[in-house]
Structure 1
Amino acid sequence: MKIPASLSRYRTTLIVVITLVVGLFLGRALFGGAASPAPMSEREGHDMKDQIWTCSMHPQIRMKQPGQCPICGMDLIPAASGDAEMDPMTVGLTEHAMKLANVRTMIVGMGGGTGNVRLTGKVVPDERRVYSQATHVAGRVEELLVNYTGETVFQGQELARVYSPELVTAQEELLQAARVREVQPSLYAAAREKLRNWKLTDAQIEAVIAANATSGVVPILADVSGVVVQKRADLGDYLKRGEVLYAVADLSKLWVQFDLYESDLAAMHIGDTVRYTVRSVPGKIFKGRITFIDPVVDPATRVARARVEVADGSLKPGMFAIGMVQARHGHATALLVPRSAVLWTGPRSVVYVKEGEGRFRMREVVLGAAMGNDVMIASGLEAGEEIVVNGTFIVDAAAQLNGTPSMMSPQGGPMPKGHDHGAVK
Structure 2
Amino acid sequence: MNPVSFLSVPRARLWAGGAAIALLAGAAGFGLAALTRAPSEQAAPENAGGKVLYWYDPMVPNQHFDKPGKSPFMDMQLVPKYAGDAGSEAGVRIDPALTQSLGMRTAAAHRGTLGGAISATGVIAFNERDVAIVQPRAGGFVQRTYNRAPDDLIRAGAPIADLLIPDWGGAQQEYLAALGTGDAGLASAARQRLLLLGMPASTVADVKKHRRTRTVYTVTAPIGGTISTLDVRPGMTVAPGQTLAQINGLSSVWLDAAVPEAVAGSVSPGQRVTVSLSAFPGETRQGRVKNILPQAADKSRTLTVRIELPNPGLKLRPGMFAQVNFAGKERQALLVPSEAVIQTGKRSIVMLASGKGRYRPAEVRTGQTAGGQTEILAGLSEGEKVVTSGQFLIDSEASLAGMEVRPVSGEAGSGQTAKASSYEARGVIKKIGPAGVTLKHEPVPALGWPGMTMMFHLAKPMLAHGFKAGDQVRFTFTQKEAGPEIQSMSKEPGT
When the two structures are superposed, what TM-score results if normalisation uses the length of structure 2?
A: 0.54
- Please tell me whether the aligned partners of residues 176 and 211 of structure 2 are also in contact (alpha carbons under 8 angstroms): no
Q: Give 1:230's aligned residue.
A: 228
Q: Give 2:257's aligned residue.
A: 258
User: Per-residue deviation at 1:240?
Assistant: 4.1
Instruction: Give the alignment's Cα RMSD to 1 decimal.
Output: 5.2
Once residues 388 and 238 of structure 1 are traced to their aligned partners in structure 2, the CA distance between those partners, rounded to angstroms, is 78
Q: Give 1:191's aligned residue.
A: 193
- Please tell me whether the aligned partners of residues 152 and 226 of structure 2 are also in contact (alpha carbons under 8 angstroms): yes
Q: Give 1:241's aligned residue.
A: 240
- Please tell me whether the aligned partners of residues 291 and 309 of structure 1 are also in contact (alpha carbons under 8 angstroms): no
Q: Give 2:112's aligned residue.
A: 111
Which deviates the most, 156-165 or 396-405?
396-405
The answer to whether structure 1 residue 395 and structure 2 residue 395 are counterparts is yes
Once residues 331 and 352 of structure 2 are traced to their aligned partners in structure 1, the CA distance between those partners, rounded to angstroms, is 27
Distance 1:369 1:164, change over 3 A: farther
* Residue correspondence of structure 1 range 1-150 to structure 2 within 5 A: 50=49, 82-83=84-85, 86-87=88-89, 92=92, 106-150=107-151
- Please tell me whether the aligned partners of residues 273 and 289 of structure 2 are also in contact (alpha carbons under 8 angstroms): no
Q: Give 1:18's aligned residue.
A: none
Q: Give 1:363's aligned residue.
A: 363
- Please tell me whether the aligned partners of residues 229 and 248 of structure 1 are also in contact (alpha carbons under 8 angstroms): yes
Once residues 137 and 397 of structure 2 are traced to their aligned partners in structure 1, the CA distance between those partners, rounded to angstroms, is 71
Once residues 359 and 138 of structure 2 are traced to their aligned partners in structure 1, the CA distance between those partners, rounded to angstroms, is 82
Give the counterpart letter for 2:247 in structure 1. V
User: Per-residue deviation at 1:233?
Assistant: 0.9
Q: What do residues 92-129 of structure 1 show as CA deviations (whole Å, max 9, x unaligned)?
A: 37579999x99975432223241443311123344454
User: Per-residue deviation at 1:160?
Assistant: 0.5
User: Per-residue deviation at 1:152?
Assistant: 4.1
Q: Percent same amino acid at aligned positions?
A: 17
Q: Give 2:163's aligned residue.
A: 162
The 3-state SS of whatever aligns with 2:294 is coil
Once residues 174 and 387 of structure 2 are traced to their aligned partners in structure 1, the CA distance between those partners, rounded to angstroms, is 87
Q: What do residues 203-234 of structure 1 show as CA deviations (whole Å, max 9, x unaligned)?
A: 44337x723x562x32102323x233313213
The 3-state SS of whatever aligns with 1:307 is strand
When the two structures are superposed, what TM-score results if normalisation uses the length of structure 1?
A: 0.61
User: Per-residue deviation at 1:354?
Assistant: 0.7
Give the counterpart letter for 1:335 in structure 2. L
Give the counterpart letter for 2:219 in structure 1. I
User: Structure 1: which 5+ residue stretches go unaligned?
Assistant: 1-45, 64-68, 411-425
Distance 1:105 1:168, change over 3 A: farther
Which deviates the most, 112-121 or 190-199?
190-199
Which deviates the most, 158-167 or 396-405?
396-405
Q: What do residues 182-221 of structure 1 show as CA deviations (whole Å, max 9, x unaligned)?
A: 16244123124335664653444337x723x562x32102
The 3-state SS of whatever aligns with 1:318 is coil
- Please tell me whether the aligned partners of residues 114 and 371 of structure 1 are also in contact (alpha carbons under 8 angstroms): yes
Q: Give 2:332's aligned residue.
A: 333
The 3-state SS of whatever aligns with 1:137 is coil
Distance 1:135 1:203, change over 3 A: same
The answer to whether structure 1 residue 289 and structure 2 residue 290 are counterparts is no
More strand by share: 2
- Please tell me whether the aligned partners of residues 160 and 219 of structure 1 are also in contact (alpha carbons under 8 angstroms): yes
The 3-state SS of whatever aligns with 1:136 is coil
The 3-state SS of whatever aligns with 2:318 is coil
- Please tell me whether the aligned partners of residues 267 and 327 of structure 1 are also in contact (alpha carbons under 8 angstroms): no
Q: Give 1:274's aligned residue.
A: 274
Which of 1 and 2 has higher RCO (CA within 8 Å, sep 6+)? 1
Distance 1:83 1:238, change over 3 A: farther
Q: Give 1:384's aligned residue.
A: 383
- Please tell me whether the aligned partners of residues 228 and 246 of structure 1 are also in contact (alpha carbons under 8 angstroms): no
The 3-state SS of whatever aligns with 2:222 is coil
Once residues 296 and 172 of structure 1 are traced to their aligned partners in structure 2, the CA distance between those partners, rounded to angstroms, is 57
Greater Rg, structure 1 or structure 2?
Answer: 1
- Please tell me whether the aligned partners of residues 349 and 363 of structure 2 are also in contact (alpha carbons under 8 angstroms): yes
Once residues 398 and 46 of structure 2 are traced to their aligned partners in structure 1, the CA distance between those partners, rounded to angstroms, is 28
User: Per-residue deviation at 1:402?
Assistant: 1.5
Once residues 380 and 251 of structure 2 are traced to their aligned partners in structure 1, the CA distance between those partners, rounded to angstroms, is 51
Once residues 395 and 286 of structure 2 are traced to their aligned partners in structure 1, the CA distance between those partners, rounded to angstroms, is 43
- Please tell me whether the aligned partners of residues 360 and 405 of structure 2 are also in contact (alpha carbons under 8 angstroms): no
- Please tell me whether the aligned partners of residues 155 and 222 of structure 1 are also in contact (alpha carbons under 8 angstroms): yes
The 3-state SS of whatever aligns with 1:230 is strand
Give the counterpart letter for 1:221 in structure 2. T
Give the counterpart letter for 2:125 in structure 1. V
Once residues 64 and 99 of structure 2 are traced to their aligned partners in structure 1, the CA distance between those partners, rounded to angstroms, is 18
- Please tell me whether the aligned partners of residues 118 and 372 of structure 1 are also in contact (alpha carbons under 8 angstroms): no
Distance 1:336 1:142, change over 3 A: farther
Once residues 97 and 80 of structure 1 are traced to their aligned partners in structure 2, the CA distance between those partners, rounded to angstroms, is 22
Once residues 292 and 48 of structure 1 are traced to their aligned partners in structure 2, the CA distance between those partners, rounded to angstroms, is 66
The 3-state SS of whatever aligns with 2:360 is strand
Q: Give 2:320's aligned residue.
A: 320
The answer to whether structure 1 residue 307 and structure 2 residue 307 are counterparts is yes
- Please tell me whether the aligned partners of residues 168 and 194 of structure 2 are also in contact (alpha carbons under 8 angstroms): no
